[in-house]
Amino acid sequence: MVCRTLGVFALAALAAVALEVGCAPVSPFGEGFDVQGHRGTRARRPENTLPSFAEAMCIGVTTVELDVGVSKDGVVVVRHGRGLHPEITRGPDGRFIPAERVLISALTLAELRRFDVGRVRPGSRYAMGFPEVVPIDGTRIPTLEETIALVDPSRSGVRLNIETKISPEKPADTLPPDAFADAVIAVLRKTGALKYATLQSFDWRTLARAKAVAPEIPRVHLSHQAEANGALERRQTGAPPWFAGHDYDGSLPKLIASLEGAVWSPLYRDLDRESLREAQTLGLLVVPWTVNEPRDMDRLIEWGVDGLITDYPGRLNDVLRARGLPVPPAVAVEGAAGRSARCPPGGTAEVSN
Ligand code: G3P
Ligand code: CA
């Protein structure tokens, strides 16, 4: 898959280019279109939780996307952002936490487990954006290890796309990038999940570390060109801190290919056909985030993207079906001890937590 565009041009000169840019022989996502469930399925279940991953698998995904941080006592936990989100986090008193930031890195796993992350604050911006989230009170922040046990990629065939939530602009918020990447890779090695995972980040320093210590894990370079996050304006050049000190000459595909990345994941609105073609010609897979409207999904599939990250994997599967394309099978999960799941018609996973 990675080399398919180059394969069309079976010329010695282009083959040499492919070698130079590190064209990988095998797609990290296997054959076919990559249906990635964003934070499990953020639109249907409390994000980045075991019920959300189970639900995504019941709907049918090839990959679950998730975000990770590292607790004060060194445990890799699944959570978006460097701090707990006040619109989806309640304290032991049952109240949503105040807006002041509570850093994941400042709390031990035991302390993080006291929070309930199974409900969206009514009336919040988050609730308005995702009104169909089914609350599951009592849901706790999972560890990466528990998530791998639930997804069980060697049995289910479902992969993990793991994002390191770290910022070069907020060094005090997290472990340094090398230690952060090492912690994630240690879990992947311990669980045998390294060959079923990709590592993604906007902060490419963690990807550089992964390349040095675990080059076998495919690296996904995230980009966000037009908005905040310390990312870049479309035509900005130089070495943005998010790019691990690498100079940027205006072509993200060229830069990512030179770093031997496997995948470019741009914000979907940043992508145009020309950049897509350039990236694929350089041997990159292109998997935009986070695409929730069927018309955008359909357009990007028409353009030839290699996969999509979505809060609504069911919608994406409907779009694929309408095009006569295969969709991932529903997978019922038998999770970590004490958890069970089933996939009733309609794709509703029920996971005790
Ligand atoms: O996988 C890419 C996407 O998840 C990045 O954005 O903020 O949802 O983690 P975010
Ligand atoms: Ca993410």
Whether residue 248 contacts residue 236, with contact meaning beta carbons closer than 8 Å, is answered with yes
Is residue 80 domain-resident? no
Provide the pLDDT for residue 353: 43
- Residue 58's CB is within 10 A of a number of other CB atoms, namely 26
Nearest in space to 62 (alpha carbons), one of 352, 319, 349, 306 = 306
Cα gap 183→160, rounded to integer Å: 16
- Does this model's pTM top 0.85? yes
Q: Kindly report the protein residue whose alpha carbon is nearest to atom 3 of ligand 1.
A: 289
Report whether 60 contacts 329 (CB < 8 A).
yes
| DSSP reduced 3-state for 123 | coil
- Residue 348 falls inside a structural domain: no
The answer to whether position 79 is within a domain reads no
Take atom 2 of ligand 1 and give the residue whose Cα is closest.
289
Q: Residue 223 — φ and ψ, nearest 5°?
A: -140, 155
In a domain, 184, yes or no: yes
**pLDDT given at position 182:** 98
Phi, psi of 79, deg, nearest 5 = -165, 145
CA of 200 to the centre of ligand 2 (A): 8
Cβ pair 61, 35 in contact under 8 A: yes
Cα-to-centroid distance, 65 and ligand 2 (Å): 6
Q: Which atom of ligand 1 is nearest to the CA of 290?
A: 3
pLDDT of residue 337: 43
Cα 153 to its chain centre, rounded Å, is 15
217: CATH: 3.20.20.190
Residue 232 confidence (pLDDT): 53
Could you identify the atom of ligand 1 that is nearest to the CA of residue 161?
1
Closest C-alpha to ligand 1, atom 10: 80
Beta strands in the chain (DSSP E): 34-37, 63-70, 76-78, 159-164, 197-201, 219-223, 263-266, 285-286, 307-310
On whether residue 209 sits in a domain, the answer given is yes
Cβ pair 220, 199 in contact under 8 A: yes
3-class SS letters over 294-324: HHHHHHHHHHCCCEEEECCHHHHHHHHHHCC
pLDDT at 61: 97
Cα(16) to ligand 1 centroid in Å equals 34
Q: Check if the beta carbon of residue 204 is closer than 8 Å to that of residue 241.
A: no
- Encoding tokens for residue 211? 């390349």
Which region, left, alpha or beta, applies to residue 33 given φ > 0 means left and ψ of -120 to 50 means alpha? beta
What's the length of the chain?
A: 353
- Which residues line ion ligand 2, judged by CB < 5 Å? 67, 163
Question: In whole angstroms, what is the distance from residue 277 CA to residue 274 CA?
Answer: 5
Domain for residue 151, yes or no? Answer: yes
34 lines ligand 1 (CB under 6 A): no
- Alpha carbon of 295 to ligand 2 centroid (Å): 22
DSSP code at position 330: P
The verdict on residue 267 lying in a domain is yes
Q: Decide: 166 and 177 in contact? Cβ < 8 Å.
A: yes
For ligand 1, say whether the CB of 47 is within 6 Å of any of its atoms.
no
| 290 ligand 1 Cβ < 6 A | yes
Q: Tell me the residue range of the domain where 180 lies.
A: 11-44+60-70+143-326
Closest among 21, 63, 24, 19 to 41, alpha carbons compared: 63
Asked whether residue 5 is assigned to any structural domain, the reply reads: no
Mark out the alpha helices in 80-176 (DSSP H runs).
109-112, 125-129, 144-151, 153-156
What pLDDT score was predicted for residue 338?
45
Looking at the structure of the chain, the number of domains it has is: 1
Q: HSE on the CB side for 349, CA within 13 Å?
A: 31
Q: Is 229 in the pocket of ligand 1 (CB under 6 A)?
A: no
Whether residue 222 has its Cβ less than 6 Å from ligand 1: yes
| Per-residue confidence in pLDDT tens, the chain, 353 aa | 333 322 322 333 333 333 333 333 346 767 789 999 999 999 999 999 999 999 999 999 999 999 999 999 999 999 999 999 999 999 999 999 998 879 999 999 999 999 999 999 999 999 999 999 999 999 999 999 999 999 999 999 999 999 999 999 899 999 999 999 999 999 999 999 999 999 999 999 999 999 999 999 999 999 987 644 444 544 455 667 888 888 878 789 999 999 999 999 999 999 999 999 999 999 999 999 999 999 999 999 999 999 999 999 999 999 999 999 999 999 998 654 445 567 766 555 544 44
Compute, in angstroms, the gap from residue 337 CA to the centroid of ligand 1: 29
**289 in ligand 1 pocket by Cβ < 6 Å?**
yes
Residue nearest to atom 5 of ligand 1 (CA): 289
pLDDT at 250: 79
